[in-house]
Amino acid sequence: MDELELLKKHWKQEDTQYPHVSANAIYKMILQRSSSIVKWIFIISLLEFALWTAVTVFLKDHKSAQHFDRLDSDYLIIPLTVIGYVILIYFFYLFYKNFRRISVTDSAKVLMENILRTRRTVKNYVVFNLGFMVLSTVVVLYIEFDQDTALIRKTQAAAANGELFMFYAKTILIVAGVLAVFAGILLFFYWLIYGLLLRKLNRNYRELKKLEM
Amino acid sequence: MDKELEHSFVALLEEHQNIVHKVCRLYTNHREAHNDLFQEITIQLWKAYPKFRGDAKFSTWMYRVGLNTAITLYRKSKRTVNTYELETFQFKIKAEEYDDTEEQQLKLLYQAVHQLNDIEKALVFLYLEEKDYREISETLGISEVNARVKMNRIKNKLRTILNP
């Protein structure tokens, strides 16, 4: 006999053997909070948006930024800031739209795709930010070296001592170090999300995709 | 929340709760995990309920939400122990209905099913519930042909697990 047929026979008879959950218990259950991955993905995504907005605001208010404001840089900084915020709003809109689309009554495959798409929006936002941060850093360095009198003096002094190469190398290393710290924070987020939260989802999605081949 | 909605939901779920128990039966292997998944499925059903239009059967709708929760949304809570505790979590099998060999066979069968992956379990679940391949394919989002092929592979896989 087919193995599953025996199970099927038993499966039907098992109906009476499950513990009965009373209506009262069900009322209590629906008051509880869900601990689904969708909720966690939403929270973590909000944290990521908040982190990057905080980074932008913090950099704007920082002392060195105020010093930077005195330089003639508006022609570059204002467009960069505006683009930054417009893109934030755009990504947030996409994220929200994708998030709303997640429905537990879709087929398993569609549900998984919608969750993954929501995550991808946030990932793209972060990748965009990383690129934007590198671009902004290059722009700021360019303006500093071009206009900041103190820095120009230092450069000239270094050049006079024949240490110009060392001076540039040091500056670049420090800047790269700061960028690396940010990249580290990002990697932590991704380890958290893809490693822990989405492991099961990714595994099952791959399994479904394999069926289609 | 609308009280009437709440009443109708609780009444329907109380009546059809065995579907949820059965999903938990395949996806968990001890009582606490069973209860935890039961609760999460109940919450997801309740959250989705306002959009339930009644054009599908409540039970059919429950299969989707239940399986989606088990396969995709549910995160094992900390207290879940990830070992096979099947022995201690056997629902009592009525002795007069089964002889010893059949009982032993069943135990091995459940152990084998627990070794399948989440997607395979979903197919087995719908098969045991006597759903046709159209419904299986719609619930999982794969084609009917692929559902059929996969089901045959699962049967072979179970046979291999049982008769190594």
Together in a domain, B119 and B147: yes
With CA atoms as reference, the chain A residue closest to B11 would be A23
Number of structural domains (chain A) is 1
User: Structural domain of residue B62, as residue ranges?
Assistant: 1-89
Q: How far is A150 from chain B (nearest CA, A)?
A: 56
User: Which among B58, B89, B120 is the end of a domain?
Assistant: B89
Together in a domain, B107 and B38: no
Q: CATH no. for residue B103?
A: 1.10.10.10
Determine, for residues A7 and B91 on separate chains, whether the beta-carbon distance falls below 8 Å. Answer: no
Number of structural domains (chain B) is 2
- Average pLDDT over all residues of chain A: 83
Together in a domain, B34 and B69: yes
Q: CATH no. for residue B19?
A: 1.10.1740.10
pLDDT of residue B66: 96
Q: Is residue A132 part of a domain?
A: yes
| pLDDT (tens digit per residue) in A4-49 | 888 888 888 877 778 889 899 999 898 888 888 888 888 888 888 8
CB contacts of A104 in chain B (<8 Å) are 44, 47-48, 64-65, 68-69, 73
pLDDT of residue A54: 83
pLDDT mean by block of 10 residues, chain B; 164 residues: 87 93 91 90 94 82 94 70 40 52 84 92 94 93 94 92 84
- CB contact B101 to A (< 8 Å): no
| pLDDT (tens digit per residue) in A58-89 | 776 666 666 666 677 777 778 877 888 898 89
Q: How far apart are CA B21 and CA B24, in angstroms?
A: 5
| pLDDT (tens digit per residue) in A138-158 | 887 888 778 877 888 888 888
What global pTM score does this model have?
Answer: 0.81
pLDDT of residue A148: 78
Together in a domain, B79 and B96: no
